[in-house]
Structure 1
Amino acid sequence: MDGSRGSVTSGDGTSIGFLADGSGPPLLLVHGGMCTSARWVPLWQVLVPRFRVTAMDRRGRGSSGDGDHYSLAAESADVAAVAAHLSKRYDGAPVDVFGHSYGALCALGAAAEGAPLRRIALYEPPGPPTVSTAWLRSARTWIDSGDPGRAMYSFLVDVVGLGPGEVAALRDRPLQYDPMPIVEQTLVREAESLMTVDLAALAGSIAQSVLLLLGSESPAWAAEVTWNLESALPLAKVVLIPDQGHEAVDVVPDLVADQLELFFGQ
């Protein structure tokens, strides 16, 4: 991924880095778990000709720092800080945002706190149905015993719903980052946050138009959370991505980009 790098300081003093490229209307990308902004490589190539794209590194990875105490509220504040920075470049106009998985949840939280966001697109934000207490207990044990790879594999198979072949394809794909330190530092704390997040409360304070993208082959929790959000958000619509699961941003980036361009261009 090419572009210009920058950073902002979030509310608790954490430095949040980002990469920007392209021209056109501003679009902020917020990635999901176990990765950095480099996860956007497939979609980045499709979006940059259409938007001025900014991909932030969520705290605890990539070019961003990390705080002493973790919370979803702090992650939401990070998104809000980057959005405010971008808004200033556009004479105070709000910016569009697209979040994937846990990053979608962070974007939702930022919108609920009044971040300068115009339209919001979310691909399968997680919530309480996503992880069980038993799975979280196992993941914590694996990571504490020095086996983050097993925790990562279990998350991809048992939570995201990937098959062994799909996991192998992810493993063999060239990466610009090492996911294991990210898994060690962030997987458990993010899963813990999912157990108590009140999605209805977040959704109830959001007045913007929201696009909810859902893969037709995604795990049951994704459909449950997505349709519950559609009911709770005053201006939301669900678009089903046919024959795709949770990783459509990697597998069919052109299709996802077309949906984003259609929505943000309204």
Structure 2
Amino acid sequence: MQGKRESVISSDGTRIGLLTHGDGPPLLLVHGGMCRLERWAPLWEVLTSRYTVTAMDRRGRGSSGDAEDYHLDAEYDDVRAVAEAKGPLDVFAHSYGAVVALGAAARGAPLRRIALYEPPGPETVPADWLTRFQAAVAAGDLGRAAMSFLVEVVGLPQDQVLAMRDAPMAYDPMPIIARTMPREGSALAAVDLAALATAVPQPVLLLVGAASPAWAQKITDVLHENLARSSIATLDSQGHEAVDLVPDVVAQVLGRFFGETE
């Protein structure tokens, strides 16, 4: 991924690493849980040909720092710090990053239009699964934890997960699993997405895969009911990982929204 490495300082003093490239209206990308900013590689070329794109490393991974204690509000402030430095701008966020972007908007971040792909919530992390996941991480069995997350939560077939494990990657996700995902699971279990949505005045596009787990459609419907200005785009035959599998389709949907919504 080509671009200029930059950083901003969030409200608690944590450095948030950025990569910026392209030409056009400003667009921020916020990645999900088991990721770094490099997860946007499938979309990078097409988006940077249309927008000035900034991808952020969420705290605790990649080029970003971290704090001793974790609070989801701090992640909202991270997005706000980027938007204040770069914005006002549009944002596309995936999975856990979509929760972060929603919270940032609810706290007044200078975001123009918001596209969210399947933000998770309490339904995504039932107590029995979260206990097993956190126990696996604590025991150092990160492979089992990753398999559990990708199969039981994301809904991927086990053979697809095994193929992903054996494929070359731009970064090792295991340190991310160990450091950030247990705390993010606990945060999701307590988040009130409907309350956040009611405080968001911006137009929001909710992307959901037709083949995604049931929690994705349920949460999408709740957000649609509580957002002031929202629409839903359903991606036929796709699941939670459409950014990787059909990036051109995702880019087309984003282009229509960011090009047409006022």
TM-score, normalised relative to structure 2: 0.98
How far the C-alpha of 1:51 sits from its partner, in A, is: 0.7
2:233 to 210, 233, 239: 239
**CA distance in structure 2 between the aligned counterparts of 1:242 and 1:187, rounded to whole angstroms:** 29
Residue in structure 2 matched with residue 68 of structure 1 by the alignment:
68
Deviation at 1:66, TM superposition (A): 0.4
1:71 shift after superposition: 1.2
Write the letter of the residue equivalent to 1:34.
M
Residue in structure 1 matched with residue 55 of structure 2 by the alignment: 55
Deviations 1:160-196 (A, max 9, x none): 0000122123223322211111100111100101111
Alignment partners' CA distance in 2, 1:72 and 1:173: 32
CA distance in 2, matches of 1:140, 1:212: 29
1:90 aligned partner: none
Match of 2:186 in 1: 192
* Matching of residue 105 in structure 1 with residue 102 in structure 2: no
**In structure 1, how many angstroms separate the alpha carbons of the residues matched to 2:232 and 2:172?**
34
- Which position in structure 1 is the counterpart of 2:20? 20
Partners of 1:165 and 1:208 lie apart in 2 by: 40
Counterpart of 1:39? 39
Distance 2:22 2:11 in 1: 28
**Gapped regions of structure 2 (runs ≥ 5):** none
Question: Could you say which residue in structure 2 is the equivalent of 1:30?
Answer: 30
Q: Compute the displacement of 1:68 (Å).
A: 1.2
Q: Does residue 131 of structure 1 match 2:128?
A: no
Q: How many residues align?
A: 260
- Which residue, out of 160, 164, 171, partners 1:166? 160
The alpha carbon displacement at 1:197 in A equals 0.4
The question of 1:9 aligning with 2:9 is answered yes
CA distance in 1, matches of 2:112, 2:59: 23
CA RMSD of aligned residues (A): 0.8
Match of 2:111 in 1: 117
SS in 2 for 1:43: helix
- Aligned mates of 1:112, 1:172 — CA distance in 2: 40
Deviations 1:195-232 (A, max 9, x none): 11011110011110000000000000001001110000
Amino acid at match of 1:50: R
Runs of 4+ in 1 over 3 A off after TM superposition: none
Alpha-carbon separation, structure 2, partners of 1:50 and 1:261: 9
Q: Give 1:70's aligned amino acid.
A: Y
Equivalent positions of 1:88-103 (< 5 A) are 94-103=88-97
> 1:248: which partner in 2?
242
Question: Any unmatched runs of 5+ in structure 1?
Answer: 88-93
